[in-house]
Structure 1
Amino acid sequence: MIEELNNRYNQQVTTEPSAAGAFHPAGLLRFPTYLFGKLHKALHAQLDTPLREHWVLTYLAERAEISQQEMANAMEIDRSEVVRLIDSLEKAGLVTRTRDPEDRRKYRLTITAAGNRLRRDTDAKLTEATDVLLARLTPAERETLHRLALKALGYDER
């Protein structure tokens, strides 16, 4: 399959695509990271909840209180973006932000009961959307895809 994509890429394209949505440049399809990006965008399009907010809630659900800086480091996003995310989540009653008693310059973040409910609901939506998106794969192929993605990123197997 990869060799076929590389061969298509190396051939001169002489015809115009019939529809913009149907055109998939072989030069991009040969890169797994491009394909994973397309999968991510397709999944995101099926949900009505911002995934970044879900990631924050999931991280908070797995940790006790953490600082905004710890969240920025864990999410690998700019601290100012974390502030905007937390502002939104706090306004919605999904996260509480309290001053750190040891360092009043810092805030400690905690997920609320409502935040946990939304996280669980979004987990279910993600599972359903993933099932639709990966319907062409067998359960074994899905497991292999997941395992290999974890391995490529350097995470231990589940």
Structure 2
Amino acid sequence: MIELLNNRYNRRVTEEPSGPAEFHPTGLLRHPTYALGKLHKAMHAQLGTPLREHWVLTYLAERNEISQQEMANVMEIDRSEVVRLIDSLEQAGLVTRNRDPEDRRKYRLAITAAGNRVREETDAKIFAATDVLLARLTPTERETLHRLSLKALGYDTDES
């Protein structure tokens, strides 16, 4: 498959693509990160919502009572963006933000019961959307794709 994409990329295109749905940028499809990015964008489109809020809720469900700085570090985004995310989640009643009793300059974040329900609902939507997006893959291929993605990120996929 990779060789086929490379060959298609190296060939000169003599015809205009017949439409956006039929155009495949083979020069980009040669890169796994581009293909994975396309899957990520397709997930956003399928869900109709950004996933950052879900990531925040998921992390808070696993690690309750964390600082905004820890969230910024984990999400690998600017602290000001975390403030905007938390503002939105707090206004929706999904997250609480309280002053840290040990350092009044900091806030401690926690997920609410409503936030946990939304997280669980979004998880179910993500699993359903994943089934649609990866319908061309067998269950074994899906597991392999997931395992290899985790391995590329540095996670030991042999640990249980």
TM-score by length of 2: 0.97
The Cα of 1:31 is off from its aligned counterpart by: 0.5
TM score, norm. by length of structure 1: 0.98
Q: How many residues align?
A: 158
Structure 1 stretches of 4+ moved >2 Å: none
Distance 2:44 2:36 in 1: 12
Gaps of 5+ in 1: none
Q: Aligned to 1:108, what secondary structure does the other structure show?
A: strand
The Cα shift of 1:50 comes to 2.5
1:69 aligned onto 2:69: yes
The residue identity in structure 2 corresponding to 1:47 is L
Name 1:97's counterpart in structure 2.
Answer: 97
Q: Counterparts of 1:48 and 1:92 in 2: how far apart (Å)?
A: 18
Tell me, in whole angstroms, the C-alpha distance in 2 between the residues paired with 1:17 and 1:35.
20
Report the counterpart of residue 150 of structure 1 in structure 2.
150
Identity, % of aligned positions? 82
Aligned to 1:118: 118
Deviation per CA, 1:69-109, whole angstroms, max 9, x where unpaired? 00000000000000000000000000000000000000000
Deviation digits for residues 8-59 of structure 1, max 9, x if unmatched?
1111111110112210111011111000011011111011342100000000
In the other structure, the counterpart of 1:28 is 28
> 2:5 aligns to what?
5
- What is the aligned partner in structure 1 of residue 82 from structure 2? 82
TM-superposed deviation, 1:125: 0.1
Unaligned runs of 5+ in 2: none
Specify the code of the residue in structure 1 equivalent to 2:66: I
Q: C-alpha distance in 2, partners of 1:150/1:134?
A: 17
CA contact (8 A) 1:49 1:122 kept: no
The 3 A distance-change label for structure 1 pair 138 and 128 is same
